[in-house]
Amino acid sequence: MCFTVADWLRTEVRTSRRTFLRCGLMAGAAAASFEYGRSHALAGVAEGAEPPPPLALTGARIYPGPDAPPIPRGVVLTSGKAIVAVGSQEQVSIPSGARTLDCTGLVVTAGFTNCHVHFTEAKWQAANSATATHLAGAFSAMLTRYGFVRVVDTGSSLPNTRDLGHRVDGANVLGPQIITAGPNFVPPAGTPFYLQPARLPELTDPGTAETLIEQALDGGADVVKLFTGSFARQDSIAIMPVDVVRAATARAHQRGKLVLAHPSNGTGARAALDGGVDILAHTFPSELTGPWDRSLPVRMREAGMALIPTLKLWPYEAQRLGLAPALAERARVNSAAQVKMFTDAGGQLLFGTDVGYMTDYDPTDEYVLLGRAGLSFPQILAALTTEPASRFGRSAHSGRVAAGMDAELVVLDGDPDRDITALARVRYVLQQGRIIYSRTLSG
């Protein structure tokens, strides 16, 4: 059967990568005083399109950005969809009539972005007709309860994920804003064995790459995702020819779109690098043919490529598959070294966890592993906020707690500068000036 992009757009991604990872790794590898909204807000239905009234978050320790000093007991004042003032309690006057959210003892940062998620589980299907309560519950469980106001879906059914995004953007459903890749493209005969017998669209030559990328972007994809290295069989990785990668990235860039790549190993990472890919969607700890190429992190930095670590994915899979502890440890060491060498070289790290594939949604382990890799709290905060904003062209609007920025805020139940796991202990999340998650309300 001839498999086209249109077929793929209707095809659910099946993401059992059990054997892939076995192969790869084994080879080496609150504030109760606050009253929010009408009762339907509790059920996950947004209040409508009218701008939210002024809201003052008071008493919190504010981290305005990764490179700015904290404000010990500050005030963030929002009005409509924007932040209008940030400062100490003496500096910011709260207008009469403003709602107040007492955040004494809590911490405020900018809203988080998760740059590697998937909307492929059954609960996301029929997004155009699912109830707002159902969808908001699903968003809360996987994303908003952990502070994510924006996500990058790196592979799913494009029409369905676009419907999900429209439900959120239409202020009908409380959830994160969604950037989606939709279909994933593979080398010739390069569909990962764990997805077969389905076949992903194959980029057989530069001309075909240009045509299929064009179709996906015409279909509404926001970014492009390539498998530059794909476990086409359990014991071998298909590599996308560099001229094909170049043709795909050139066409995407002509349309103003970024390109992400799944590398599988160092050779796949090199194909992405040489082909002009913008973002590597994973570290590449598997070692099928020998030690990983330690020149890659610096070369990636020199090329302006960003990296999404997905460090938790490797031990998650090792545990799920029952791999020997030594193999899991090797994957951890390799992936941590890649992240550290990359950031030491000045590379741009984008936070991402592969949730939606991973059914354990909690990002706590990712924060712990990033810390163990040698990253500081400001570096991790940057990967969650300012760096995704920069890479996705939103720095003028988001990523910092500052007047004039969009009112995208996370309120934490602890200080992540003292304990990095506090990044996962979220009390409230604001997006566009609305509270889209409250632990008090959502449990």
Q: Cα(315)–Cα(330) distance, rounded to whole angstroms?
A: 10
Structure-block tokens of residue 144: 């908003």
Q: Is 278 in the site for Zn ion (CB under 5 A)?
A: no
Report the nearest approach of Zn ion to the CB of residue 143 (Å): 14
b/e code 360-395 from CB counts within 10 Å (16+ = b): ebebbbbbebbbebebebbbbbbbbbbbbbebbebe
Report the nearest approach of Zn ion to the CB of residue 56 (Å): 39
Q: Cα(142)–Cα(149) distance, rounded to whole angstroms?
A: 12
Comparison of 357 and 437: residue with beta carbon closer to Zn ion? 357
Task: Give the total of residues touching Zn ion (CB under 5 A).
Answer: 2
Which string of x and - marks every residue 292-321 that binds Zn ion (by CB under 5 A)? Answer: ------------------------------
Report the residue closest to Zn ion, judged by CB.
354
Report the nearest approach of Zn ion to the CB of residue 357 (Å): 5
Report the nearest approach of Zn ion to the CB of residue 172 (Å): 27
The gap from C-alpha 14 to its chain's centroid, in whole angstroms, comes to 19
Comparison of 163 and 354: residue with beta carbon closer to Zn ion? 354
Comparison of 264 and 432: residue with beta carbon closer to Zn ion? 264
Closest CA to 57 of 108, 110, 111: 108
Comparison of 74 and 192: residue with beta carbon closer to Zn ion? 192
Structure-block tokens of residue 308: 């999404």
Report the nearest approach of Zn ion to the CB of residue 200 (Å): 13
Spatial neighbors of 323 by CB under 8 A, at least 6 apart, are 22, 25, 26, 317
Comparison of 210 and 354: residue with beta carbon closer to Zn ion? 354
How many C-beta atoms surround the C-beta of residue 12 within 10 A?
15
**DSSP bridge partners of 261:** 226, 280
At residue 362, φ and ψ (nearest 5 deg) are: -65, 120
Report the nearest approach of Zn ion to the CB of residue 263 (Å): 12
Comparison of 354 and 406: residue with beta carbon closer to Zn ion? 354
Structure-block tokens of residue 146: 């952990």
Report the nearest approach of Zn ion to the CB of residue 356 (Å): 8
Which span sits near Zn ion by CB under 5 A: 45-53, 213-221, 335-343, 354-362? Answer: 354-362
Which span sits near Zn ion by CB under 5 A: 239-247, 357-365, 413-421, 435-443? Answer: 357-365
Which span sits near Zn ion by CB under 5 A: 63-71, 294-302, 355-363, 426-434? Answer: 355-363
Structure-block tokens of residue 162: 């676009």
Which span sits near Zn ion by CB under 5 A: 32-40, 104-112, 347-355, 360-368? Answer: 347-355
Comparison of 74 and 155: residue with beta carbon closer to Zn ion? 155
Residue 290 CB-density burial (10 A; 0-12 exposed, 13-18 middle, 19+ buried): exposed
Comparison of 24 and 399: residue with beta carbon closer to Zn ion? 24
Q: Is 354 in the site for Zn ion (CB under 5 A)?
A: yes
3-state secondary structure 280-295: ECCCCCCCCCCCCCCC
Comparison of 64 and 309: residue with beta carbon closer to Zn ion? 309
Q: Which residue has the tokens 């690098």?
A: 273
Q: Is 153 in the site for Zn ion (CB under 5 A)?
A: no
Report the nearest approach of Zn ion to the CB of residue 244 (Å): 21
Report the nearest approach of Zn ion to the CB of residue 39 (Å): 37
Contact 307, 300 (CB under 8 A): yes
Residues that bind Zn ion in the complex, under the rule CB under 5 A: 354, 357
